[in-house]
Amino acid sequence: MKSYQIVDWGQPLEARQVDMPVPRGNEVLVKVGAAGLCHSDIHLRDGYFDLGGGKRLTAAQYGAKMPMTLGHEIAGTVFQVGEGVKQAWTGANVLVYPWIGCGKCDACQDLRDTDCEAQRSLGAKADGGFSEYVLVPDARYLIDIGQLDMHASATLACSGLTAFGALKKMPPMKPTDRILLIGAGGLGLSALAAARLVTKAGLVVADIDPIKLEAAKQQGADVIFDNRTPDTAAALKAAAGGPIRGVIDFVGSGTTASLAMGVAVKGTVIVVVGLMGGSLEIALPLLSPRNLTIRGSHVGTFDELKELVEFSRNGQLPGIPLTRRPMSEVNEALSDLENGKSVGRIVLTPN
Ligand SMILES: [Zn+2]
Ligand SMILES: [Zn+2]
């Protein structure tokens, strides 16, 4: 089968002919129908995450292997199952939960795979979906999507779930309160799509790209704000139209984290999601009297993804703009994403 793999850090992915895996035990082989592209694919391809102050976490330290097939937003059709799989999955259209843990520790037993210290996430630590087929370690990580659109469903596994997981970490709010979403890329738009399922707060979106801000407006943002505005934090606070009681930072750079601190009111919850890189210096004596929460949020649980698919099935989850491209264009698509040239999500189809 043809797979698009990292063969050297910082180099384009290479189309390679690899042996088709044979599922054993509870494993499942899925024929890929659609695979979404994510910003973290760029970090993995480049081989590091920027920790700020000149420090780096290399992809190898993170647990990525080489060669490795990227791609963690995967929808497809079950092709073959191992002898241990009891349910009749073969032929079903499925969304794959890629954030797979070791399966043995306490976190995994509680279905909190994202808190597992020995994750084997598909497309990050194990071979993923930029391929004709992907091996899923256990049928329990499949969600039946029936006749739902495969391309739109694929994006739920990372951008949809990440946005949903972060929104769920916001405190209860009133319509006069504001949640600030920093970044109007695929994640920001996914958060706008899912926000009404989770919160009553008004939604403010900040970005530096007017085209992406316009997309955010179309997706339902109450207020859009250009982060290139001078005296950014003060101007953003004034434009928000209410106290910013929650911030979700989908960029995750030193600049955006400082902006989040700059617009916070007492009690604000700041959730950092993006991995753009950098660090934040915090004056500790301000944290307690201002009652601030700063926390991370990494994707979401299997149950949250199931919940999201159910919302999608019931027509309660609006779609985000998608660009469908053949998988052979994966490297061009990664550069477009890196250069900010894509609105919404790029989803690849094997060809
Ligand atoms: Zn992702
Ligand atoms: Zn585990």
Integer-rounded Cα Rg, in Å, for the chain is 20
Mean pLDDT across the chain = 96
Q: Point out the domain boundary residue: 251, 276, 296.
A: 296
Model pLDDT for residues 45-68, shown as the tens digit of each residue: 999 988 888 899 998 888 888 899
The percent of residues in the chain predicted with pLDDT above 70, rounded, is: 100
Query: Are 16 and 149 within one domain?
Result: yes
**Residue 97 — very low, low, confident or very high, per pLDDT cuts 50/70/90?**
very high
pLDDT value at 176 more than 90: yes
The CA 142 to ligand 2 mean position distance, Å, reads 18
Whichever domain contains 152, its CATH number is 3.90.180.10
The CA 138 to ligand 2 mean position distance, Å, reads 13
Number of the ligand closest to the Cα of 159: 1
How many angstroms separate the CA atoms of 51 and 58, rounded?
10
Query: Are 109 and 139 within one domain?
Result: yes
- Beta pairing class for 73-81 and 68-69: unpaired
pLDDT value at 286 more than 90: no
pLDDT of residue 150: 97
Q: Kindly tell me the number of DSSP H helices and DSSP E strands found in the chain.
A: 12, 18
- Quickly tell me which residue has 């930072």 as its tokens: 249
The percent of residues in the chain predicted with pLDDT above 90, rounded, is: 92
The CA 349 to ligand 1 mean position distance, Å, reads 17
Sign of CA dihedral 15, 19, 20, 21: negative
pLDDT value at 130 more than 90: yes
The CA 109 to ligand 2 mean position distance, Å, reads 7
How many angstroms separate the CA atoms of 214 and 141, rounded?
36
The CA 328 to ligand 2 mean position distance, Å, reads 34
The CA 106 to ligand 2 mean position distance, Å, reads 7
Model pLDDT for residues 217-240, shown as the tens digit of each residue: 999 999 999 999 999 999 999 999
pLDDT of residue 63: 87
Report the pLDDT averaged over residues 297-322: 96
pLDDT value at 317 more than 90: yes
Query: Are 226 and 311 within one domain?
Result: no
Q: For the whole model, what pTM was predicted?
A: 0.93
Query: Are 225 and 343 within one domain?
Result: no
Whichever domain contains 291, its CATH number is 3.40.50.720
The CA 158 to ligand 1 mean position distance, Å, reads 5
Query: Are 260 and 181 within one domain?
Result: yes
Number of the ligand closest to the Cα of 111: 2
Report the pLDDT averaged over residues 280-306: 94
The CA 72 to ligand 1 mean position distance, Å, reads 6
Number of the ligand closest to the Cα of 158: 1
Model pLDDT for residues 98-124, shown as the tens digit of each residue: 999 999 999 999 999 999 999 999 999
Number of the ligand closest to the Cα of 187: 1
Query: Are 220 and 281 within one domain?
Result: yes
The CA 351 to ligand 2 mean position distance, Å, reads 35
Query: Are 288 and 308 within one domain?
Result: no
Query: Are 32 and 150 within one domain?
Result: yes
The CA 317 to ligand 2 mean position distance, Å, reads 30
Distances in whole angstroms, Cα of residue 172 to Cα of each of 79, 168, 187, 267, 271: 43, 9, 21, 12, 15
| Long-range own/partner contacts, residues 195-198 (CB < 8 A, 24 or more apart) | 195/167, 195/220, 196/220, 197/164, 197/167, 197/311, 197/316, 197/317, 198/164, 198/167, 198/168, 198/170
Report the pLDDT averaged over residues 162-179: 97
Count the Cβ atoms, other than its own, within 10 Å of residue 255: 15
How many angstroms separate the CA atoms of 110 and 119, rounded?
14
Query: Are 115 and 181 within one domain?
Result: no
Q: What six digits make up the tokens of 226?
A: 């250009």
Query: Are 79 and 136 within one domain?
Result: yes
pLDDT of residue 50: 87
Query: Are 64 and 101 within one domain?
Result: yes
Number of the ligand closest to the Cα of 119: 2
Contact (CB, 8 A) for 143 and 41: no
How many angstroms separate the CA atoms of 238 and 122, rounded?
43
Query: Are 147 and 56 within one domain?
Result: yes
The CA 258 to ligand 1 mean position distance, Å, reads 23
**Residue 349 — very low, low, confident or very high, per pLDDT cuts 50/70/90?**
very high
Number of the ligand closest to the Cα of 109: 2
pLDDT of residue 192: 97
Model pLDDT for residues 153-170, shown as the tens digit of each residue: 999 999 999 999 999 999
How many angstroms separate the CA atoms of 143 and 95, rounded?
5
How many angstroms separate the CA atoms of 106 and 184, rounded?
36
Number of domains in the chain: 2
- Bigger pLDDT: 246 vs 60: 246
Question: Range of 331's domain?
Answer: 2-158+299-349
Q: What six digits make up the tokens of 60?
A: 């190898």
The CA 283 to ligand 1 mean position distance, Å, reads 31
Contact (CB, 8 A) for 45 and 70: yes
How many angstroms separate the CA atoms of 104 and 133, rounded?
26
